[in-house]
Amino acid sequence: MSSVKILKNYIDGQFVETKMTFDDINPVDGSLVAHVCEADKELVDRAVLAAKRALKGEWGSYSVTQRAKLLHNVANEIERRFDDFVTAEIADTGKAYDQVKNIDIPRGAANFRFFADLVQNQDEKIFEMTTADGCGATNQIVNKPLGVVAVISPWNLPLLLMTWKVSPALACGNTVIVKPSEETPFTATLLAEVMDKVGMPKGVFNLLHGFGPKSAGAYMIEHPEVTAITFTGESDTGKTIMKNAADGLKPVSFELGGKNAAIVFADADFDKAVAGTVRSVFSNCGQVCLCSERVYVERSIFDKFVVSLKENAEKIKIGKPEEGADMGPLISKKHREKVLSYFSLALTEGAKLVTGGKVPVFGNDCDNGSFIEPTIWTDLPEDARCVKEEIFGPVCHISPFDNEDEVIMKANNSDYGLAAAIWTSDMDKANRVSRQMEVGICWVNDWFLRDLRTPFGGVKLSGIGREGGAHSLEFYCEPLTICIKH
């Protein structure tokens, strides 16, 4: 009998095994992490109906305080099993230990704590009005849960991005059916164990494993009893989901792709701008939706900046997380094929290769993984596909600019609008430029600094709606106005 781990679905408070399975592969060396039980249409149906029943059961009768207490227990239990979560996230992604220990898992727990606290301070507004008979009326706004929320998440920050949506959905009293990416099912399964352990009522949190089209993802979207859809992933997937959800007129919240600009002015603290750009281009092997793939540098410091970014990119230690690597592999060989196709295209489009561009050779089992070199290009025209399309790998194009108006125009000349980073020591300039960025978030002299109270999301192809703080509560609640005549 095989001793390989089996990752099960979690439906109505039960772990459910299926005959149909797919492999969870470690991208560091191509080894098998687990067999994953794939949910079929019937299982999706069972999960949705369990979630619907749970809305009317014990969960539906909980006060906000009771819900918040349970979500705090979820956060505590994630922290108690911190090492299990770290091991699982690394097995699925191969990302650097520092990133998983300091960002992915702590943020997974923090999401539950933050929304548990926030929901307890949610306003229930009351408006008194006058009436023709002089008696008046009171309008009370009551925040009700939406119902059954489908949460579909990607592989790049698996636990962080899934809990970013599960936490506010549960805090607001909804029930959820959750599908993690087929590439990263492990921490989602641990989260189901956590839900079970803390006594989350049956049917409140349901986990379904599977793929997108003609699999669990599509079945969830099409299910008539799903009330709302919250999705993080590629813009093209968002378009498909929106079309499939259209018949049910379901509310959607979409966090999608990006082709983010970093702008470095000559007056910036040079070393900080370089260090920040190394982080914003190469973190998580470039697989963060907020990563900078277009870097614009003021002409007077352009050559110096390119040399310095190159030197720093070449210092990045690529390899196994347990050997202290700074950068792990791409998520899969399939994704590496996509990134490599852009590496070839860039040369065809006229790029000058500053560094990288290849698959590294290790001479050990990492050669079975999906590693790729940190890569920098210059000299591409602004309309090159490599400057327009999201690549989602450790790569950027750097180009010079001469003035503010020019760089604002270039940064905004994108079908995407997720994030930007501006490096300058002139705060008037920072204010002026950041306000003109067509994005959801613009950092000045930093990158990926997050306050969970702030709205998060994108414009254009980068998304629909905002989550974060009150914006999440707004999406996951259905306000009911009760007008009482006196």
State the catalytic residues: 255, 289
**Binding footprint of ligand NAD, residue count (CB under 6 A):** 32
| Position 105, amino acid | I
Query: Exactly one of 295, 390, 473, 475 binds ligand NAD (CB under 6 A); which one?
Result: 390
* CA dist list (Å): 434 to 103, 282, 352, 415: 26, 23, 30, 18
Which of ligand NAD, ligand 6OD, none does residue 203 bind to, with CB < 5 to 8 Å depending on kind?
none
Residue 330 binds to ligand NAD (criterion: CB under 6 A): no
Which of ligand NAD, ligand 6OD, none does residue 237 bind to, with CB < 5 to 8 Å depending on kind?
ligand NAD
CA nearest neighbour of 253 among 464, 476, 5, 57: 464
One character per residue 214-233, x = contact with ligand NAD (rule: CB under 6 A): ---xx--x----------xx
Q: Give the separation between CA 295 and CA 409, rounded to whole angstroms.
A: 14
Residue 450 binds to ligand 6OD (criterion: CB under 6 A): yes
| Position 451, amino acid | D
In angstroms, what is the minimal distance from the CB of 285 to ligand NAD?
Answer: 12
Residue by residue, DSSP assigns 374-404 as -EEEE---TTSHHHHS---SSEEEEEEE-SH
| Position 96, amino acid | A
Residue 203 binds to ligand NAD (criterion: CB under 6 A): no
Residue 184 binds to ligand 6OD (criterion: CB under 6 A): no
Residue 289 binds to ligand NAD (criterion: CB under 6 A): yes
Residue 149 binds to ligand 6OD (criterion: CB under 6 A): no
In angstroms, what is the minimal distance from the CB of 308 to ligand NAD?
Answer: 27
Residue 290 binds to ligand 6OD (criterion: CB under 6 A): yes
The nearer residue to ligand 6OD, 217 or 458, going by C-beta atoms, is: 458
Q: Give the separation between CA 460 and CA 415, rounded to whole angstroms.
A: 6
N-terminal to C-terminal alpha carbon distance within the chain: 72
Which of ligand NAD, ligand 6OD, none does residue 229 bind to, with CB < 5 to 8 Å depending on kind?
none
| Position 43, amino acid | L
- Is-contact 346 386, C-beta < 8 A? yes
Residue 207 binds to ligand NAD (criterion: CB under 6 A): no
Residue 289 binds to ligand 6OD (criterion: CB under 6 A): yes
- Chain centroid offset of residue 328 CA: 18
In angstroms, what is the minimal distance from the CB of 158 to ligand 6OD?
Answer: 11
Residue 467 binds to ligand NAD (criterion: CB under 6 A): no
- Phi, psi of 123, deg, nearest 5: -70, 140
Q: Give the separation between CA 37 and CA 180, rounded to whole angstroms.
A: 13
Tokens 């299910």 belong to 223
Residue 156 binds to ligand NAD (criterion: CB under 6 A): yes
In angstroms, what is the minimal distance from the CB of 161 to ligand 6OD?
Answer: 6
Tokens 């007008």 belong to 483
CA nearest neighbour of 439 among 422, 462, 455: 462
Residue 339 binds to ligand NAD (criterion: CB under 6 A): no
One character per residue 409-448, x = contact with ligand NAD (rule: CB under 6 A): ---------x------------------------------
In angstroms, what is the minimal distance from the CB of 288 to ligand NAD?
Answer: 7
Which single residue brings its beta carbon nearest to ligand 6OD?
289
E strands, 12-56, in order: 14-16, 21-25, 32-37
Q: Give the separation between CA 332 and CA 92, rounded to whole angstroms.
A: 10
Q: Give the separation between CA 247 and CA 253, rounded to whole angstroms.
A: 16
In angstroms, what is the minimal distance from the CB of 345 to ligand NAD?
Answer: 18
In angstroms, what is the minimal distance from the CB of 234 to ligand 6OD?
Answer: 12
Residue 196 binds to ligand NAD (criterion: CB under 6 A): no
CA nearest neighbour of 157 among 221, 102, 218, 194: 102
CA nearest neighbour of 206 among 337, 50, 60: 50
In angstroms, what is the minimal distance from the CB of 193 to ligand NAD?
Answer: 20
Residue 237 binds to ligand NAD (criterion: CB under 6 A): yes
Q: Give the separation between CA 233 and CA 241, rounded to whole angstroms.
A: 11
Where does this chain bind ligand NAD (CB under 6 A)?
A: 152-156, 161, 179, 181-182, 211-213, 217-218, 221, 232-234, 237, 240-241, 255-258, 289, 390, 392, 418, 458, 462-463
Where does this chain bind ligand 6OD (CB under 6 A)?
A: 156-157, 161, 164, 288-290, 450, 456
